[in-house]
A and B are shown apart, each in its own frame.
Chain A
Amino acid sequence: MEEKKLRQYDFLTSIILILFGIWDLAQAFKMPMKDSYGGVESVWYVSPALFPLFIGGGIILMGAILLINSIRTGGAARFIDSLKHVSEAKLTNETVRVLTVLLALGSFIYILIPNIDFFLSITLFLFFLCTAFYPDHDEFRRTFVIHFIIGMAVFLILIVTGLSDIINGILKYNMDILALLFIIYMNVAARKMAKAREIPVKLIRQVTIVSIVVPLILCPLFRYFLLVPLPVEGGILKLMNLLYYTIR
């Protein structure tokens, strides 16, 4: 980031830091200072608030220095000026790429891992993230991401409303079956989209292989060799367990 932009953002971060420091101090003042806690009479220098006070004070001080520097160098004025043109601002390609990665990681961690079979979660995550970037085609990525967002929104609604429990109550692995169907749908959609845009379908095939092979190596490695119980052991992992313990 260039110097001018840095000073501009310094203005924003300094305000965030000062506010954060004030919040930290406010929280620290709520901690026992000299009074008794758990039946033990305390003194100020043993108080659990002492260190948070030191940190809060330090953050406010440094935030203030950053703020002064930003005002002196004209960063604050530029930042305020840029606010007037917020409506005209456009998302850069780089920002879109970062947001796509965050979308993938966010949905993987907060939606898939706690609710769907771990094997399927990894497959879906890898298939989405690799397919979005491997063909290196912006228009393809945009359409593909929209499909993924809609799918994840459906999963989120099912989970938040508790419908997922009802669905799983009908048949134990219904949510996993739903995830599997979504992976298949995404795969077919990606192939169709690739064909329409003259992207070699070979790339989608390679991504499919990677997104199946990686969890096929990692899940047994962690589950059977490192003896780590995986977050959700749904349909696929239960099938793996059955195979593994039958062979053993």
Chain B
Amino acid sequence: MNFVESLQIFFVNIGGMLISPSILLILFGSVIMGIIFGATPGLTATLGVALLTTLTYGMDASTAMVALMGIYVGGVYGGSYTSILVNIPGTAASAATALDGYPLACKGQAGRALGLTTTSSAIGTFIGMIFVVALAPVISALALQFTSFEFFLLALFGIVISGTLTSHDLVYKGWIAGFIGLFLSTIGRDSLQFFPRFTFGMSDLEGGLDLVPVLIGAFGIPQIMTSIRDNFKVGETHKFKRIVPDFKTIAGNTPSILRSSLIGVGIGAVPGIGEDIAGWVSYGAAKRASKHPEEFGNGAVDAVISTETANNSCIGGAMIPLLTLGVPGSPPAAMLLGALLLHGIQPGPMLTIDHPTFILEITAILLLASVAMWVCGILLAKQVIKVLKIPTSIFMPVIAVLCVIGSYALGMRVFNLYLMLPLGILAYLMSEMKYPIAPLIIGVILGNMCDANLRRALMVSKGSFEPVFTRPVSLVLFLIIVLMIVGQIPYFQNLQRKLTSRLSFLRKSEIEGNAEATADCQDHE
């Protein structure tokens, strides 16, 4: 498919969606739902995508993706509402926005702050979309050259990096979570010899664990328990008259927007880590680059713009490995993977061959979702805020019912519910003890890829691990994994610190030597 053809398909997709009232209704409806989910503390974009997946059951794949991408985009953006108006991040993705968004609201600029986050979120989503369309075919073509060893190492890399970056306590707690996820993925008949593993003679377990109940259990149940336990109350929101898009300020912050978009896409593309990390990294980068870093934390406009651009561009970033390698870039993308599989679409290198126009469809949906998000954000913010007045003790039980019905409806198996609750309790206990949940999910998703490809690769090499060292991509992945693990060992951390200080000392003495030599030269002259 050449560039002109791609462009044609892209615009045909957009046109097709624009002339269909039902698609537009689904798009706007799901974006508004996403904003509500994002704005409500305790609910996340991931849970929104999980619950909506159930309702897309009867739709065709394209329409389902419109709904799911809409709620994903809206959910990531919606978190900024409570961050700015009540200083409570609606989602972890917008936690960094609260640092400067709330002080802006305190200064009586809530409308302006919301306008800036709305526009920068839309721009972030749009830039993320450009990266999807530009990079996805390249990575897909590259991934077609991958052999089983590369896929095994890629899956392992996903689990290790996700564990490393999402752990708030000890790094290996992230890896433990990943390994528990891998264990869960081994339940059922193995894909090569169909041997039943860890099924305990139960026929319901022979097909393995269904992804959606596992995701709903791991993300939904702990949130319900935590919200009710803490008796969370949103409190009074800051008043604002209307949302001002403020294009002039946006235009003045173009370098910040571009930098944050690149950070967002880059972080989104790393398996398992999502919008929250993108927001924080972008905030730090904006502060370092700012001419007035002292204003950060007191209502800096560029801080709000950078965090919101980054977390929304992360969506596009997360879609790249999902579509090209079958490896989700963020927790909501993991949920999207489940939805895609449900609709008979297998993401991965073969996607461009099996469904050549699918990536273009996704980019068209992302573009429309960003526009819909901007329109809803500017026009409906005041109405959405009203939902925050519903007490947690009423809202969360209803969400619990939706989780239960969502887990049941996809496989129509009550057994899924029997699994969902223990998994939810496990996830709750793990998160209480600071074990990240994202690696667990990545482990469940990538477990089969890891297992089947390891054995397939060894079958081809007759039990030899030599190809890991002879194939360039394998070697690079292997070295990264080893370095990430070794880098956590105290002995190597000390060694690294010593080396760094030695190098900086050498550089310093070199500079001093050069300065002395220059001074000597000048004396001679």
Contact = CB atoms under 8 A, between A and B. Distances in A.
Interface of A: 1, 6, 9-10, 13, 17, 24, 27, 31-32, 37-38, 40, 42-48, 50-52, 54-55, 58-59, 62-63, 65-66, 69, 94, 97-98, 101-102, 104-106, 108-110, 113-114, 122, 125-126, 129-130, 133-134, 136, 206-207, 210, 214-215, 218, 222, 225-229, 231
Contacts of B186: 51-52, 55
A228 B409 contact: yes
A129 B394 CA distance: 8
Contacts of B194: 38
Contacts of B195: 31-32, 37, 48
Nearest to B181: A55
Nearest to A13: B433
B154 interface: no
A69 B190 CA distance: 35
Interface in B445-479: 447, 450-451, 454-455, 458-459, 463
Contacts of B428: 98
B129 interface: no
A130 B394 contact: yes
Interface string B409-435: 100101001101100110010001110
Contacts of A52: 183, 186, 197-198
Chain B at the A interface: mostly helix, strand, loop or mixed? Answer: helix
B119 to A, nearest CB: 35
B176 interface: yes
Nearest to A24: B183
B398 interface: yes
Which 10 A-B pairs have CB atoms at the shortest separation, nearest pair first?
Answer: A45-B458, A133-B393, A48-B195, A51-B451, A129-B397, A48-B190, A45-B463, A134-B393, A97-B229, A228-B409
A16 B317 CA distance: 37
Nearest to B450: A51
Interface in B152-191: 169-170, 172-173, 175-176, 179-180, 182-183, 186, 190
Nearest to B397: A129
Contacts of A101: 224-225, 228-229
Interface stretch (B78-86, B201-209, B399-407, B511-519): B399-407
Given A6-B434, A46-B459, A50-B455, A97 B231 contact: yes
Nearest to B194: A38
A228 B410 CA distance: 9
- Chain B, interface residues (CB within 8 Å), range: 35 or more
Given A62-B172, A218-B405, 11 more contacts: A6-B169, A10-B433, A27-B198, A32-B193, A45-B459, A46-B192, A59-B179, A69-B170, A226-B58, A227-B58, A228-B409
B228 A46 contact: no
Contacts of B405: 218, 222
Contacts of A44: 463
B286 interface: no
A113 B404 contact: yes
A130 B459 contact: no
Given A59-B176, A133-B231, A134-B394, A229 B412 contact: yes
B245 to A, nearest CB: 36
Interface in B247-304: none
B6 to A, nearest CB: 35
The residue in A37, A43, A105, A206 that gathers the most chain B C-beta atoms within 10 A of its C-beta is A105
A210 B193 contact: no
A224 B459 CA distance: 50
Chain A at the B interface: mostly helix, strand, loop or mixed? Answer: helix
B47 to A, nearest CB: 16
A109 B416 CA distance: 10
Contacts of B424: 105
A38 B391 contact: no
Contacts of A126: 397-398, 401
B172 A66 contact: yes
Contacts of B58: 225-227
Contact of B404 (A38, A63, A109): A109
Contacts of A228: 57, 408-409, 412
B71 interface: no
Nearest to A5: B433
A225 B58 CA distance: 9
A55 B398 contact: no
Contact of B433 (A6, A62, A106, A125): A6
Given A37-B193, A109-B417, A113-B417, A222 B394 contact: no
A179 to B, nearest CB: 16
B281 to A, nearest CB: 25
B170 A66 contact: yes
Nearest to A95: B229
B231 A136 contact: yes
Nearest to A1: B432
A122 B399 CA distance: 12
A222 to B, nearest CB: 6
B136 interface: no
A55 B400 CA distance: 32
Contacts of B183: 24, 52, 55, 59
B384 interface: no
B228 A45 contact: no
B229 A94 contact: yes
A50 B393 CA distance: 47
A17 B409 contact: no
9 contacts: A1-B432, A6-B434, A37-B195, A50-B455, A55-B183, A101-B225, A113-B414, A134-B394, A228-B408
A48 to B, nearest CB: 4
Contacts of A54: 454
B67 interface: no
B409 A45 contact: no
A207 B394 contact: yes
B444 interface: no
A43 B405 CA distance: 44
Given A105-B221, A109-B421, A231 B414 contact: yes
A241 B279 CA distance: 49
A36 to B, nearest CB: 11
B55 interface: yes
B172 A65 contact: yes
Given A46-B455, A110-B418, A133-B393, A231 B408 contact: yes
Nearest to A129: B397
A55 B179 contact: yes
Given A13-B433, A31-B197, A62 B458 contact: no
A66 B463 contact: no
A42 to B, nearest CB: 7
Given A51-B451, A134-B393, A17 B176 contact: yes
